[in-house]
C-alpha cells in the first residue's frame, strides 16, 4: 500500500503513520551505553568484511575454473545484498545516539532532522546532470530513526512539498521516496 493511499494519513487517526511514542529514559540510557561500547566494534567488523572482500576478490577469478563455483558465489552475494537491502548497515536498529537520547519525544528536533535529510537529498537529486557522469540518486529512504518523533505522515507531507513521490513503504521501518524528475 502506498503512503498516498493510506487513509490514516488524511484522517489523522492514530496508526503506523503517526509519531512513535517516546521511549522511557530508563530504557534509553542502557541502549546508549551499549551503543557507545558496541558501535565501534560493529564498524570495525564492517570494515574488516569490506577489506576481506577486497582482498579475496582477485582470487575468485582463478576459482572460476571450478564448475559451478562462480554461480554459487554470485548467489551468495545476491542473498547477502538482499538481506542488507532494507537495513542501515552503519547503525543497528537498537542503537541510540547522543542526540536521540537528549531529544527523545521532542517533535521539533525530529521535524528539523527530517527537513535536513530531505533538503540534502533534494539538492542532490535536483542538481543538473553533468556529461559523462552518472545521474543523481533517484530514490531516497528515510529511516525510522530520522522521523520517530513526528511520524511517517510528516515525512510524506514534507517530501511531497519538495517534489518527491512516495513509494510503497513500511512506516515502522523506513519510508521510500522516488524523485520523479529523474531522467533514465
pLDDT tens digits for 128-154?
Answer: 777 666 666 688 888 888 888 898 899
pTM of the full structure: 0.68
Rounded mean pLDDT for each run of 10 residues along the chain, 184 residues in total: 42 65 86 90 87 82 74 79 62 83 89 93 81 70 87 91 89 86 57
Strand partners, 141: 176
Confidence (pLDDT) at 6: 44
* Planar angle of CA 42, 45, 47, nearest 5 degrees: 110
Please list the alpha-helical segments (H only) found in the chain.
Answer: 7-11, 25-62, 69-85, 98-102, 107-126, 144-147, 152-162
Amino acid at each position: 500500500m502506498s503512503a498516498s493511499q493510506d487513509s490514516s494519513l488524511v484522517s489523522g487517526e492514530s496508526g503506523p503513520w503517526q509519531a512513535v511514542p517516546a521511549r522511557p529514559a530508563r530504557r534509553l540510557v542502557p541502549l546508549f551505553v551499549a551503543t557507545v561500547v558496541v558501535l565501534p566494534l560493529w564498524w570495525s567488523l564492517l570494515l574488516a568484511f569490506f577489506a576481506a572482500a577486497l582482498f579475496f576478490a582477485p582470487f575468485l577469478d582463478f576459482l572460476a575454473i571450478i564448475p559451478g563455483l562462480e554461480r554459487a558465489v554470485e548467489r551468495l552475494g545476491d542473498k547477502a545484498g538482499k538481506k542488507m537491502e532494507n537495513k542501515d548497515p552503519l547503525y543497528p536498529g537498537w542503537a541510540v545516539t547522543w542526540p536521540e537520547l537528549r531529544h527523545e519525544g521532542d517533535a521539533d528536533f525530529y521535524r528539523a532532522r527530517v527537513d535536513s535529510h530531505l533538503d540534502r537529498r533534494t539538492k542532490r537529486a535536483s542538481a543538473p546532470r553533468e556529461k559523462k557522469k552518472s545521474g543523481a540518486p533517484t530514490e531516497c529512504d528515510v529511516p525510522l530513526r530520522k522521523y520517530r518523533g513526528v511520524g511517517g505522515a510528516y515525512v510524506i507531507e514534507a517530501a511531497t512539498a519538495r517534489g518527491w513521490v512516495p513509494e510503497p513503504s513500511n512506516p515502522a521501518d523506513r519510508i521510500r521516496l522516488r524523485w520523479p524528475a529523474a531522467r533514465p
